[in-house]
Amino acid sequence: MAEPLVRIRGLDVKFNGLPALRGIDLDIGKGEAVGLVGESGCGKSVTWLAALGLLPKKAAVSGSVTLDGAELLGAAPAVLDDVRGGRVAMIFQDPATALNPVQTVGRQVCEALTLHRGMDDAAARAETRRLFEMVGIPNPAQRIDVYPHEMSGGQNQRVMIAMALAGQPELLVADEPTTALDATIQAQILDLLRRLQAETGMALVLISHDLGVVADMCSRVCVMYAGRIVEQAPSEELFARPAHPYTQGLLGALPDMVGPRRRLSAIPGGVPEPWNLPPGCAFAPRCERADGACAVMPPFQALGRDHDAACVHLNEAVAA
Amino acid sequence: MSLLDVTDAAQIYTTRRGLFGRPVKVRAVDGISFSVQPGRTLGVVGESGCGKSTTGRMALGLERPSEGSVTFEGAAMPVPRSAEWRDMRAKMQLVFQDPLGAMDRRLTIAQQIEEPLVIHRIGNAAERKERVAALLVDVGLRPDHAARHPHELSGGQRQRAVLARALATNPKLLVCDEPVSALDVSIQAQVVNMLTDLQVARGIAMVFISHDLKVVRQVSHEVAVMYLGRIVEQGDPEALFADPAHPYTRALVSAIPVPGPRRIPRIVLTGDPPNPADRPSGCAFHTRCPVAIARCKAEVPALRHFDDGRKIACHLADAQTKVAE
């Protein structure tokens, strides 16, 4: 693989001494679409908040995050200001709370343009109109001057995407971008993200709890559990041949849309609390294959081209 | 005999546009009919604002329909807040999406589960205690959870506690409004399995409201798809999701992201769902429908019965079932 755009090595985050991330290694290639899946609290959002220096002061962050070879962790505020919203943009789940309710949507996008591309008012306004058109907002010339509450949730998310594009990012991190939206609107936004990625050549990191969304959008998927990546593989490979017992459990817990209905194979128990992490594999207490060997931290094992999983019982898992 | 019968029910709200605007009548639910048999589940799907939650509230008698009727065990719903209405509450219960919001944070789990028994004067103190312990086991909680407060439980455990409370009075009907939408996938599967087990064991009828088609397919015996206050398609979940007939159902089903190869080509609808206060003429879906014809703009399609037992409200339904064959 060529030099990746973002290289994360041994990223650790602790909140008040409690581990939230435990040694994340992750590469994002230029123009690549990577999905991060996992349940609440697994660290999929914290990974990117830590990488971009957006965590509160009480978070202890260690490890290394480089963008085109330049270290981001502990970088000067001026360097980070240039990266955030510029070279790396982020959009969140709920556009209604991410937008400023007392400013027009156009002004908020213009602000990003002035900041990151040094445009004057007239140029920023013209560029905003172009961006609104690009993200499929109807009547962009009029919509520039409305407030967030005058638009639907789907339209607000389009504004957020326009704002993210304002800095011409090389990487867009989309954190559950469609979770708050209705099904038909979710399809529109995913379509838009796919089209924009193809047009601009930016890399995309899609954070989602929805395996279906990630399968649809990403070429590579990382599955996270309790602050670690437990399996990563090309999308098709992961859904055809999941190797880690947790990945298999997640897929088995999803109801099917076709074929006869079967009882869902629920994973027993719940995610361990950060103050109550078992030694070794964090999934062991819920895993039917767990035994004494799981008490030590399982190393990554290669299963094939670009397919790794952190489990000591992989061979049995694949055979099963 | 059906447990619950809803006939041509409509719910009309009055809202104002702006502070001094003229009052506008909004038909949140616009003439829907369905019935639920004991021990069966009706799934109701649709997007925000389609009237699915209002439908659930009418089914429970929390709101009286502005038009049409709702009957439970053959008798009309009593007037809200009357003594008969209060007695009815023991027979029908509601489960919401957010279990923390549905619980009293200052009461222990055991106190919350016992409360409906106290209100409906069921059993003495010792019997109630025994019943609470049995309910905890039924929903898969441990005895030591009884003394905890809601914030000391995880989301999945809270939803189990809410369910134990709903089941305390042995209801015949459970209306679940997005009961698993706030839960993680692995926990969601646990709660879905538990709901279906409890239904089989106790013969409870359910109205299961959700935007998640996969979960609705899993739990329902019958499914109703709603768009802007009306049912546009209704029928057996396996048939309906395998071969959706209404163009809106087809778009919904095709929009579900699934891991693995896609069976139906994706249909991306343009625009947002219309405002219920500003309902389009004719078929409300014609503004976003990829196959609409002139007639759709002028004439409201009736919900018609088809040979396979399905009901479809679309002028083009005949042509489409032919295509499907």
Residue B324 clears pLDDT 80, i.e. is over it: no
Residue A13 clears pLDDT 80, i.e. is over it: yes
Residue B287 has a CB neighbour count (10 Å cut-off) of 18
pLDDT in tens, B55-82: 999 999 999 999 999 999 999 999 888 8
pLDDT at position A103: 94
| Domain parsing of chain B, residue ranges | 4-91+171-248
Residue A302 has a CB neighbour count (10 Å cut-off) of 10
Q: Which CATH number fits domain B4-91+171-248: 3.40.50.720, 3.40.50.1980, 3.40.50.300, 1.10.3720.10?
A: 3.40.50.300
Residue B320 clears pLDDT 60, i.e. is over it: no
**Nearest residue on chain B to A264, alpha-carbon basis:** B189
CB contact under 8 A, B241 and A258: yes
**Nearest residue on chain A to B259, alpha-carbon basis:** A212
pLDDT at position B9: 96
Q: Report the C-alpha gap between A234 and B26 in whole angstroms.
A: 49
> For the ranges A155-159, A168-172, A175-179, B319-323, which has the lowest average pLDDT?
B319-323
Q: Which residue of B187, B241, B255 is in closest CB contact with A270?
A: B187
| Encoded tokens for A182 | 């209705």
CA of B88 to nearest chain A CA: how many angstroms apart?
Answer: 33
**By C-alpha distance, which of B232, B176, B195 is closest to B46?**
B232
Q: Which residue of B186, B193, B214 is in closest CB contact with A257?
A: B214
Whether B257 has its CB under 8 Å from any CB of chain A: the answer is yes
- Say how many CB pairs under 8 Å bridge A and B: 120
Q: Which residues pair with A304 in a beta bridge?
A: A307
**By C-alpha distance, which of A85, A72, A77 is closest to A5?**
A72
pLDDT at position B319: 57
CB contact under 8 A, B273 and A182: yes
CB contact under 8 A, A184 and B252: yes
Q: Are B36 and B109 in contact (CB under 8 A)?
A: no
pLDDT in tens, A58-88: 999 999 999 999 999 999 999 999 999 899 9
CB contact under 8 A, A270 and B189: no
**By C-alpha distance, which of B164, B210, B157 is closest to B187?**
B157
Q: Report the C-alpha gap between A28 and A67 in whole angstroms.
A: 10
Q: Which residues contact B108 (CB under 8 A, 6 or more apart)?
A: B146, B147, B148, B149
Whether B146 has its CB under 8 Å from any CB of chain A: the answer is no
**Nearest residue on chain A to B189, alpha-carbon basis:** A266
Q: What is the mean pLDDT of chain A?
A: 92
pLDDT in tens, B182-231: 888 888 999 999 999 999 999 999 999 998 999 999 999 999 999 999 99
Chain A residue set in contact with B, beta carbons under 8 Å: 39-40, 138, 152, 154-155, 182-188, 190-191, 209-213, 215-216, 239-240, 249-258, 260-261, 263-268, 270-271
B249 to chain A: which residues are within 8 Å by CB?
A: none
CB contact under 8 A, B47 and A183: yes
Q: Report the C-alpha gap between A252 and B49 in whole angstroms.
A: 32
Could you tell me how far CA A166 lies from the centroid of its own chain?
A: 20
Which strand (E) or helix (H) includes residue B210?
strand B205-210
Three-class SS string for chain A? CCCCCEEEEEEEEEECCEEEEEEEEEEECCCCEEEEECCCCCCHHHHHHHHCCCCCCCEEEEEEEEECCEECCCCCHHHHHHHECCCEEEECCCHHHHCCCCCCHHHHHHHHHHHHHCCCHHHHHHHHHHHHHHCCCCCHHHHCCCCHHHCCHHHHHHHHHHHHHHCCCCEEEEECCCCCCCHHHHHHHHHHHHHHHHHHCCEEEEEECCHHHHHHHCCEEEEEECCEEEEEEEHHHHHHCCCCHHHHHHHHHCCCCCCCCCCCCCCCCCCCCHHHCCCCCCCHHHCCCCCHHHHCCCCEEEEECCEEEECCCHHHHHHC
pLDDT in tens, B233-254: 999 999 999 999 999 999 999 9
CB contact under 8 A, B189 and A239: no
ipTM confidence score: 0.84
In the DSSP assignment, the letter for residue B221 is S
Mean pLDDT to the nearest integer, A49-64: 94
| Domain parsing of chain A, residue ranges | 242-320
pLDDT at position A111: 93
pLDDT in tens, A264-274: 998 998 888 88
Q: Which residues pair with B26 in a beta bridge?
A: B13
CB contact under 8 A, B185 and A184: no
CA of B106 to nearest chain A CA: how many angstroms apart?
Answer: 23
Could you tell me how far CA A66 lies from the centroid of its own chain?
A: 17
| Encoded tokens for B12 | 């009309």
The band of A317, judged by pLDDT with boundaries at 50, 70 and 90, is very low
Residue B45 clears pLDDT 90, i.e. is over it: yes
Residue B97 clears pLDDT 90, i.e. is over it: no
The band of B322, judged by pLDDT with boundaries at 50, 70 and 90, is very low
B47 to chain A: which residues are within 8 Å by CB?
A: 182-185
Burial class (CB in 10 A: 0-12, 13-18, 19+), A234: middle
Whether B272 has its CB under 8 Å from any CB of chain A: the answer is yes
| Encoded tokens for A128 | 């905003």
A184 to chain B: which residues are within 8 Å by CB?
A: 47, 251-252, 255, 268-269, 273, 288
Residue A308 has a CB neighbour count (10 Å cut-off) of 20
Q: Report the C-alpha gap between B136 and B140 in whole angstroms.
A: 6
Residue A40 clears pLDDT 90, i.e. is over it: no
Residue B177 clears pLDDT 80, i.e. is over it: yes
In the DSSP assignment, the letter for residue B235 is E
Looking at chain B, the whole-number percentage of residues with pLDDT higher than 90 is 71
pLDDT in tens, B220-229: 999 999 999 9
Looking at chain A, the whole-number percentage of residues with pLDDT higher than 90 is 77
A211 to chain B: which residues are within 8 Å by CB?
A: 185, 259
- Bridge-based pairing of strands B222-227 and B41-45 is parallel
| Encoded tokens for A23 | 């040694």
